[in-house]
Structure 1
Amino acid sequence: MNKIILIVFLIFSGFQLCAQSENSGEAEEVVEINLGNLIIQTIPSELIIEIPKLGIDGNKIQDSIILEEINTGVYDITFILKKKKFKCSVEVLNHKTTHLMVDVKEKKSESKEIQYIPHLPDPIPVPVNTGEVYVIVDDMPEFPGGNLELQRYIAMSVRYPIEAQQKGITGRVFVTFVINKDGRAVGVRIIRSADPLLDAEAIRVVRCMPEWKPGRQEGELVNVSYTIPITFDLQ
């Protein structure tokens, strides 16, 4: 009889141990990973940049770095111009974009938080010939808030390429696109170029536009061609 009681006790004890191990697994905390963005621009351009914490060992010359979704924290950065070195630190905050401007010759650095729209990959081409594309319709497409808001959006969104600034490149880029029946800008292309650097920025700005109110012809939603100029002026 005593043997039977002992066996039952051992089995019950084993069940308790299993239950405790399962519960302890469920109680494990999920570690949250905090991410932010870091944009580095330098004066002069074409420097060697080293960021050991990110595995950037300065194996190539560059004038800027855009680092998206990196762990938050303080990063030590070394800038090398010929044989001269300048070191500084910058902090990346959670869900924030930190912009670091460094003047290596003057050995000055300035960091600030900025609004940043990540560079989007080239979208899959959306065919615009699934229906007729109009130039003028009864109700033309409208940017949210109207033309003044469109101008404000362009002014606030354009990031003048650093290389273009340093080279004194200016000009007006004409971008054409189609506002489709969903109000999205598709088929974005340059019809009048100023410079490849400015062209690329103009295309990025148009592709990042919010959805428009689509155009209508005789009450039906239609695809409408639209062209806008984007001016790059250093003054």
Structure 2
Amino acid sequence: MKNSAFILFLTIGCLLVFTVAQAQDSLKYINSRKDTSSINQCIIYITEWPEYPGGSVAMRQFIYEHLQYPKYALDNKIEGRVVLAFTVDTDGSLIDIRILKSVDKSVNEEAIRIVKLMPKWKPGKDYFGEKSLSKYKIDIIFNLPIKENSFTK
């Protein structure tokens, strides 16, 4: 019984030491981040996510208004969902834009063009309430336009 209690306290003590060491490393990492050019530098503990000005409805409206279906995709009847990832910088600009799910080169380029056109976002905040780099993912759906006469006999 004494052995079990000793092992339990030893395990808890080791976990405490590991947790404190981990927290100190995290603080050093947060305080030392100077280079904002890499998506790998993002803080994991985001307490306030970045937001497009006006919210997700306004973002969808922006995409709808600025989307120009690529001629190549129209001619070849290409449609689908492009999934993009990017980092919202501390000033709200979008950096490190990447394609996660591809449809076609022309459609991918249009999706990237739209994201680059977006206004600055409200940046995310970390655990300490400071503006932080934040990873974000969106998808843009490309559907071929429906012709008006397609449902008539």
Q: Find the aligned partners of 1:136 and 1:162 in 2 and give their Cα distance.
A: 42
Partner residue of 2:27? Answer: none
Distance 2:122 2:60 in 1: 16
Instruction: Quote the residue 1:139 is aligned against.
Output: 48
The equivalences for 1:66-215 within 5 A come to: 127-128=37-38, 132-134=41-43, 137-215=46-124
Q: Counterparts of 2:139 and 2:75 in 1: how far apart (Å)?
A: 23
- Which has more helix, going by share of residues? 2
Q: CA 1:173/1:132 → structure 2, altered by over 3 Å: closer, same or farther?
A: same
The partner residue of 1:225 within 135, 142, 146 is 135
The structure 1 segments of at least 4 consecutive aligned residues displaced by more than 4 Å after TM superposition are: none
In 1: Cα distance, 2:45 partner to 2:137 partner: 12
How many Å separate the matches in 1 of 2:101 and 2:44? 18
- Structure 2 unaligned spans of 5+: 1-35, 147-153
1:118-155 CA-to-partner distances (Å, cap 9, x unmatched) read: xxxxxxxx7135x8313561111010101100110111
Secondary structure, in 3 states, of the residue corresponding to 1:134?
Answer: coil
Counterparts of 1:147 and 1:136, CA distance in 2: 22
Q: Quick one: higher RCO (CA 8 Å, sep 6+), 1 or 2?
A: 2
Cα gap change, 1:199 to 1:136, in 2 (>3 Å): farther
Distance 1:228 1:181 in 2: 19
| TM-score, structure 2 normalization | 0.67
Aligned CA-pair RMSD: 1.6
